[in-house]
């Protein structure tokens, strides 16, 4: 079967793109993880990135992460903007000297030939105020379209990265739209088959986009979300306190505490989408989540995986 007719070719199916990227990064020594089982705003929130980026140990991983940005909901009417989408995330610690070349090789693997396409590294310094994280890098352009984020983490969860990890994030829908040559994300061929057997991205997700947009903007119970935020914040702190065995001893409760930080962050995102948080309050909520992330980061480096 030639690449063009293979339903699992990255240019023919959404799942083919994911499988190709997974195989590629597996061949480069990454562990291929599965998505984190919680609502997160981006692949960076997965503890495999946020926490594993900290500490001295080698860590190479790749995974798909479903990401939720409640505010980006458009009731399934916008072809480019969804409140739920997929990121493909790669994290390599320490960042290898040929990271740019590896990245370009991965593009080649999914069918982007550098002799035909204009590939560019355009300055884009990444910062996540909620995670207390920042790094320098680029948005990677293919023919004028941003297809990935490329970041050398300098600080995560308030901790200096030593050594620095390199993070690659591929926006899968946009990349697939480009590879398949479709202008509407819902028209993406999901399974690579044709005719009656063809399943599109819209078949899988359009109804979800409609329902969740209503939920995010209209129905989500804000009182409950405010409570959720406060409870998650409280529990995160309580768990961190409970797992803290003092100076020099390993911390025993970082991952569960970090889950609560993720919960608080998602509750905040929903409240923000519901429009019940004023501009000034917004800053203070972001700050509260950041404080949780920082506390988790500080605890993580007192664990085995954190290098303690």
Partner 1 sequence: MPDLLFELFSEEIPARMQRQAAADLQRLVTGALVEAGVTYQGARAFATPRRLALHVAGLPARQPDTREERKGPRVGAPEAALAGFLKSAGLTDISEAKIESDPKKGEFYVAVIEKPGRATLDLLAEILPQVIRAFPWPKSMRWGAASAAPGSLRWVRPLRAIVATFGPETEDPEIVPFEIDGLVAGNVTYGHRFLKPEAITVRRFDDYVAKLEASKVVLDPERRKAIIKADAKNLAFAQGLEVVEDEGLLEEVAGLVEWPVVLMGSFEADFLDVPGEVIRATIRANQKCFVLRRADGSLANRFLMVSNILARDGGKTIIAGNERVIRARLSDAKFFWETDKRVWREDKEFARLEKFKNVTFHEKLGSQWDRIERIRALAKELCNVTGADPAKVDRAARLCKADLLTEVVGEFPEVQGLMGRIYAGLIGEDISVAAACEAHYRPAGPTDSVPTDPVSVTVALADKLDTLVGFWAINEKPTGSKDPYALRRAALGVIRLVVENGVRLELRPVLFRTMRAGLDSQQAGKTDPDAGRRMREDQAADLLAFFHDRLKVMLRDQGARHDLVDAVLGNGGKAKSNEVETGSREDFASGNNANDDLLLVVRRVEALGAFLDTEDGRSLLASFRRAANILRAEEKKDGEGAFEAAADPALLKEGAEQALHDALSTAGEAASVALDKQDYAAAMRAMAALRGPVDRFFEAVMVNAEDPAIRRNRLALLAALRRVTRQVADFSKVAG
**Which residues of the chain form contacts with partner 1 (CB under 8 A)?**
56, 79-80, 94-97, 100, 114-123, 125, 135-138, 142-145, 152, 154, 161-164, 166, 178, 183, 278-280
User: d(Cα 188, Cα 149) in Å, to the nearest integer?
Assistant: 22
- What is the spatial distance between Cα 73 and Cα 91, in angstroms, rounded to a whole number? 28
- CB of 183: closest distance to partner 1 in angstroms? 7
DSSP state for residue 189 in the 8-state scheme: B
Beta carbon of residue 278, minimum distance to partner 1 (angstroms, whole number): 5
Give the shortest CB-184-to-partner 1 separation in angstroms.
10
- Identity of the residue, 162 or 242, whose beta carbon is nearer to partner 1 in the bound complex: 162
CB of 104 to partner 1, least distance (A): 8
Residue 177 or residue 264: which is nearer to partner 1 going by CB?
Answer: 177
User: How far does Cα 250 stand from its chain's mean position?
Assistant: 28
Residue closer to partner 1, measured from CB, 258 or 268: 268
The least CB distance from residue 168 to partner 1, in Å, is 14
Of the two residues 63 and 153, which places its CB atom closer to partner 1 in the complex? 153
Closest CA to 168 of 44, 40, 38: 44
H helix or E strand, kind and range, residue 213: helix 201-214
- Which residues, including other chains, have CB under 8 Å from residue 253's CB and lie 6 or more apart? 239, 240, 242, 243, 244, 299
Q: Toward partner 1, which CB reaches closer, 147 or 225? A: 147
Cα(100)–Cα(104) distance, rounded to whole angstroms?
Answer: 6
Closest approach of partner 1 to the CB of residue 69, in Å: 16
Nearer CB in complex with partner 1: 95/191: 95
Instruction: Pick the closest to residue 59 from 24, 87, 22, 33 (CA basis).
Output: 33
Distances (CA, A) of 189 to 85, 86, 308: 15, 15, 47
């Amino acid at each position: 079967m030639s690449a063009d007719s293979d339903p699992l070719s990255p240019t023919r199916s959404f799942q083919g793109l994911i499988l190709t990227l997974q195989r590629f990064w597996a061949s480069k020594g990454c562990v291929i993880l599965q998505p984190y089982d919680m609502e997160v705003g981006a692949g960076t929130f997965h503890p495999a990135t946020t926490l594993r980026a900290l500490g001295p140990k080698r860590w190479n991983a790749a995974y798909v992460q479903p990401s939720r940005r409640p505010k980006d909901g458009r009731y399934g009417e916008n072809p480019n903007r969804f409140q739920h989408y997929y990121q493909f995330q790669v994290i390599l610690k320490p960042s290898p000297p040929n990271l740019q070349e590896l990245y370009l090789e991965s593009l080649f693997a999914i069918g982007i030939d550098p002799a035909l396409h204009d590939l560019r590294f355009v300055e884009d310094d990444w910062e996540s105020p909620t995670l207390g994280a920042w790094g320098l890098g680029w948005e990677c352009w293919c023919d004028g379209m941003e297809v990935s984020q490329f970041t050398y983490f300098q600080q995560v969860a308030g901790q200096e990265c030593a050594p620095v990890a390199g993070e690659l994030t591929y926006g899968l829908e946009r990349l697939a739209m480009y590879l398949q040559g479709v202008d509407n994300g819902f028209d993406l061929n999901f399974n690579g088959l044709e005719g009656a057997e063809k399943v599109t991205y819209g078949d899988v997700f359009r109804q979800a986009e409609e329902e969740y947009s209503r939920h995010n903007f209209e129905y989500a119970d804000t009182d409950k979300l405010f409570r959720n935020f406060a409870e998650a914040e409280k529990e995160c702190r309580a768990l961190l306190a409970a797992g803290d065995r003092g100076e020099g001893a390993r911390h025993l409760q970082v991952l569960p505490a970090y889950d609560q930080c993720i919960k608080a962050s998602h509750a905040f995102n929903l409240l923000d989408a519901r429009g019940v948080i004023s501009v000034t309050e917004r800053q203070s909520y972001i700050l509260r989540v950041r404080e949780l992330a920082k506390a988790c980061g500080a605890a993580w480096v007192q664990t085995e995986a954190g290098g303690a």
